[in-house]
Each structure stands twice: as C-alpha cells, then as structure tokens.
Homo-oligomer: A and B are copies of this chain.
Amino acid sequence: CRRITKMSVLQQISPHVKNIKPLDYALLTKRANQIKEELRQGVKKPYKQLLDLTWGDSHRTGVKPLSFVRQVLAACLYPELLNSDKLPMDVKQRAKRLLGICGGGSIGSYTATAGIPEVLHRIAEFLTRRDCGAPSYPKNIFISPGCQWSLMVTNILKVLVNSEASPRIGVLTPVPCYPTTTQSIMGLGGVVVPYHLSEKQGWELQIEELHRALESAKGVCNPFALYVINPGNPSGNVQSRKSIEEVIKFASEKRLFLLADEIYQDLVYGEKSEFISYKRVLTEMGPPFSNTVELASFHSISKGFTGECGLRGGYVELVNLDPAVMKHIYKLFSKDICAPVLGQIALELMVNPPQPGDPSSPLYKMETQYIKASLTQNVKRLHDVVNSLPGFCCQPVQGGGFAFPRLNLPTPAIQKAKRAGMQPDTFYSIKLLEDAGVLVTPGCDYGQKEGTHHVRFGIMTSKDIMEEVLKRLTNFHTRFMKDFS
C-alpha cells in the first residue's frame, strides 16, 4: 500500500521539474560542509578555515554592511531607538518617515503587493535621475523578494512562458549564465536558447551570435524573449552603449521581449567602462524603439554597496508592456502577498542615500568608497595573479561580482576527471577545495563552449580574504599543473 501511494506522487511530478539537472555546485557544497565539520572536530588539514568564493554575498566574506542602512532598519524594527542619542538625526528622521508609510506604523504589516507606494515613487525618481531624465513611473515598478523571484518564480516569466504553448516558448540566454535563470525557464516549461558570449573579446555579446542562436531555434521552439545580464554574471563584461543599441535593434526587429538583469549596475571597475541602462538607451534611441520594445529591467539590494542578500529585496521596471499584459502581472503579484518590508525599506535607502550635508553622509561616503576601492583592488589582484599562472587565463573584469577565468587543463587531468565521472572543472574545483580549502564553482554549472573549462571566483570579499585565496590558489595550482603535466 505504501509503495503505491508514493509512486503515485512521483508519477505526477511535472516533467519540467524532473528535467532540471542538479548542479555540480551541490556536490561541492556537500563536501565543503563535511570539511567544515572535520575542521570543527580538529581533523588536521593544510588550512584552518574554508574560504568560500562561490557566493555573490559580500557580508559572508568580510565586507561590512553600510552603517546608515543598518541603523535605519534597526530603528524601524525597534522604534524605542528613536529616543536614543546614539543614532544620527537623519537616521531617526528617515526611520520615522518610513514607519509612517508602513501599515499601522509597523514593519510587521503587509504592504501593497507591488510594494509600498512611496517606495515605488522613490525608485521611479531614482531611475529618472540615473537615466538622465528618461521618465519612469511607479505603476510600472514591482518590488519582490529579490530579482530571481521577480524574474522567475514570480511573475514575469510565469506570464510570458505558457507551458502549454506548442511549439514551446524559447528564451535566448547567454552562455555562460547564472544557472538559476536557465533552471527557472526550464521549470516553467520554456526552452533555453543559448547564445555564446565571446570570451576572447572579453565576453562581449555579439549580434551575429544572436542571429545564429535565433536560427538554431527554428523547428525547436518559438523564441519569445532575450535575456541579457549587464554587468555580466559570471562574465564580468560591461556592455557599451553601442552594444546595447544593437541588442535593442535586434529585439525590435525580431520582436523579442527584452529581459535585462542589471543588478550589478553599481559595480563597474574598468576605467573605460560605464554602466548605461537598457532603459536609458532605449529611451534615447527614440521612436519606433522607445515606444515599442518591451523591456523588463531588474535591480536588487543584494549586490552593489548595500549587499543585503539576506533581507531579500529587488524590483523590476516594465517598459512598453500592453496594459492587458500588465493586468495579468498585477494579478500574479497580488496572489503572492508582498515582499519583505525591511527589504523594501532597504531599497528605499539604496535609491535615496544620505545627501551631502546630512549627518550620515560622510560615513556613508567613506564606507561605499572603501567597498568600491576594495573590490577594484580584488579584481586587479585576481586578474593579475590568475593570468600569471600557467594554464589560467582571465579576461578583464569590467564589472559585476565575479571573475570567470578559463582553465586550460593538462590532458592527464582531463582524463583523470573523466575516469572519475566528473567534468574537468568540477574535478579541479574539488581538488582546490580538498587541498587548499578554497571553494569556487565550476564552469560547467554556467554553461561554456564545448571543450573549454572555467571556474568562477566571487570578488565581493574583503581584501584580506582575497589575498589569502590568491596565496592558496597559487600554491595549489602550481602543484596541480606539475602533478598532471
């Protein structure tokens, strides 16, 4: 009887869910957790501590939260603090104002499902400022518990990807790409149509490749949306205005819905690089582009200087959507209660930081500049060290939270990996973890050109941790290459 009941469940599982492959990352974290436990129990290893660069999670790896953000949030949570003389005046004023826009004056209340209206207004103001006057409207902005939610599970792809469409809906997706995106497209019954970024051009997006990808979808699916990540994860590329214009023209010509993941917009390191938003370029291109190309652009508090992954807060701005479609998106958001209120408040603080003259301004400026300087140095150091190692080649990291260097592994290493039933870069990553206590993610989880191998390093970490990682990596890699030469 038991057996039959269980089987009945399994038979029902959606094939879209069944088809999602687990990541090699899961294998690595499992082993990492065992190693942590072994270290705790005093097992002797060549290192005392695991260094984990797999996350895009700056606080985890030693970057300090912004004092202004934490002070305002603490005062909102525990309003007794408004009477304290330990908090700056502008912190208390901000907290009071923000509590005033919460239901019943408590961050414990639900909010409107798209987000607190005043926060949506602030975001729209920020976007208009950021995009040099390109107008933004609160009614087109939806707050959600982080961008992955907003993009995927929640509502945008859910509206777009009709799992029963025949042929299936396709989404053009970069290679390499953050895997939750591809998994979610598949989980919703969509088809991932890969386009390759050009590694030797610093992971540039190339229009000919978009054409090729679109062609490849013929007879397979109905390509409907084009997903771009700028600055790139894991690529580290930052698109130029010209590149964005080309993508918009392509989307317009092929009638593709543009999904622009722009959550790393604050993190640009390259001296000649500048973040320009899709929304801005689209607006400045004028008609027919500016009033026809459908665009969803995503941003979040998890990255950049705020780095508050744990609070869960992101938003999407929708441009040029038909009101009939907007109606369905509203409906889906309504079904989903609301995003965490402290995440919404942190969004407000991110788009509306202390201004010159405010008591919190000098410290805020110092802290953000310090983070920027640290990450810029991390990127430079990682790039230089990795490129100094044999068989390792890192493109310039112009922006974002990661570097994705290529690993030219010796044939014996590749053969050994194959015998162990592993992807070569997973094999490398597991050895790096075992021998040097450094946790990175293998390129196979992100997609890569057949026959090439990579690893992804998170760069949002303190300078000290980065130096220690580079020291261990250098020793490990040198030995590894010798062992397998």
Q: Does A447 contact B (CB under 8 A)?
A: no
> Which residue of the partner chain, among B7, B109, B189, contacts A309 with CB atoms under 8 Å?
B109
Question: Is A468's CB within 8 Å of the partner chain B?
Answer: no
Interface string of A74-85 (1 = CB under 8 A from B): 110110110010
Nearest chain-B residue to A109 (Cβ)?
B60
How far apart are the CA atoms of A81 and B8 in the complex, in Å?
A: 53
Is B310 in contact with A342, judged by CB distance below 8 angstroms? yes
Complex-state Cα separation, A14 to B159, whole angstroms: 6
- Find chain B residues with CB under 8 A from A111 CB: 310
Does any Cβ of B come within 8 Å of A22's Cβ? yes
* The residue from B62, B108, B183, B331 contacting A310, defined by CB atoms under 8 A apart: B108
Are A106's CB and B65's CB within 8 A?
yes
Option from B17, B74, B104, B169 in Cβ contact (under 8 Å) with A332? B17
Chain B residue, CB-CB nearest to A163: B163
| Residue A455 at the chain B interface, CB threshold 8 Å | no
Binds B, one of A134-142, A143-151, A235-243, A364-372: A143-151
**Which A400-418 residues have a C-beta within 8 angstroms of B?**
none
With the chains together, A163 CA to B165 CA distance in Å? 12
Report A330-361 residues with CB < 8 Å from chain B CB.
331-332, 334-343
A362 vs chain B, min Cβ distance (A): 18
Kindly state the separation between the CA atoms of A86 and B292 in the bound complex, as whole angstroms: 57
Complex interface bits, A200-239 against B, C-beta within 8 A gives 1, otherwise 0:
0000000000000000000000001000000000000000
For this chain, the copies found in one complex come to: 2
Given contacts A22-B331, A312-B339, contact A325 B109 (CB under 8 A): no
Judging by beta carbons under 8 Å apart, are B322 and A162 in contact? Answer: no
Q: Is the CB of A292 within 8 A of B1?
A: yes
A160 at the interface (CB under 8 A from B): yes
Cα separation A466 to B334 with both chains bound (whole Å): 27
* A20 touching B335, Cβ below 8 Å: yes
| CB of A70 closer than 8 Å to a CB of B | yes
A7 CA / B292 CA spacing, docked (Å)? 11
Which residues does chain B contribute within 8 Å of A104, judged by CB atoms?
57, 59-62
Docked complex Cα distance between A81 and B71 (Å)? 10
- A483 contacts which chain B residues (CB < 8 A)? none
Q: Is A437 part of the contact surface with B, judged by Cβ < 8 Å? A: no
A335 near B108 with CB under 8 A, answer no
In chain A, residues 117-166, which have Cβ atoms closer than 8 Å to a Cβ of chain B?
A: 145-146, 148-149, 152-154, 158-165
Q: Which of B6, B7, B154, B224 lies in contact with A153, CB distance below 8 A?
A: B154
> Are A255 and B4 in contact, CB atoms less than 8 angstroms apart?
yes
**Chain A residue total in the interface (Cβ 8 A):** 100
Cβ of A63 to closest chain B Cβ, rounded Å: 8
User: Chain A, 1-27, contact with B by CB distance < 8 Å: what is the 0/1 string?
Assistant: 110111111101111011010110010
Contact B189 A337 (CB under 8 A): no
Q: Please tell me if A469 contacts chain B, counting CB pairs below 8 Å.
A: no
Asked if A311 and B81 make an inter-chain contact with CB atoms under 8 angstroms apart, the answer reads no
Which residue in chain B gives the minimum CB-CB distance to A71?
A: B78
Shortest distance between the CB of A74 and any CB in chain B (Å): 4
Hey, which chain B residues are within 8 Å of A324, CB to CB? 10
Taken together as a complex, chains A and B put the C-alpha atoms of A162 and B84 apart, in Å, by 54
Q: Is the CB of A189 within 8 A of B163?
A: yes
From known contacts A9-B160, A74-B74, infer whether A341 and B311 are also in contact, taking CB-CB under 8 Å: yes
Q: Is the CB of B148 within 8 A of A328?
A: no
Give 16 A-B pairs besides A10-B322, A55-B109 with Cβ atoms closer than 8 angstroms.
A1-B288, A5-B293, A14-B163, A15-B164, A17-B332, A57-B104, A65-B108, A73-B78, A74-B75, A107-B311, A109-B310, A145-B340, A149-B336, A149-B337, A180-B335, A312-B337
Of all A-B residue pairs in the complex, the 9 with the closest CB atoms, nearest first, are A310-B341, A74-B78, A59-B106, A60-B103, A6-B322, A60-B104, A59-B108, A14-B162, A60-B109
18 A-B pairs with C-beta separation under 8 A: A5-B255, A5-B294, A6-B321, A7-B322, A12-B224, A13-B325, A18-B328, A59-B103, A59-B104, A59-B106, A60-B106, A62-B104, A70-B78, A109-B310, A158-B187, A187-B335, A312-B340, A342-B342
Task: List A residues at the B interface (Cβ < 8 Å).
Answer: 1-2, 4-10, 12-15, 17-18, 20, 22-23, 26, 55, 57-62, 65, 70-71, 73-75, 77-78, 80-81, 84, 86, 102-104, 106-111, 145-146, 148-149, 152-154, 158-165, 169, 180, 183-184, 187, 189, 224, 255, 257, 288, 291-294, 307-312, 320-322, 324-325, 328, 331-332, 334-343
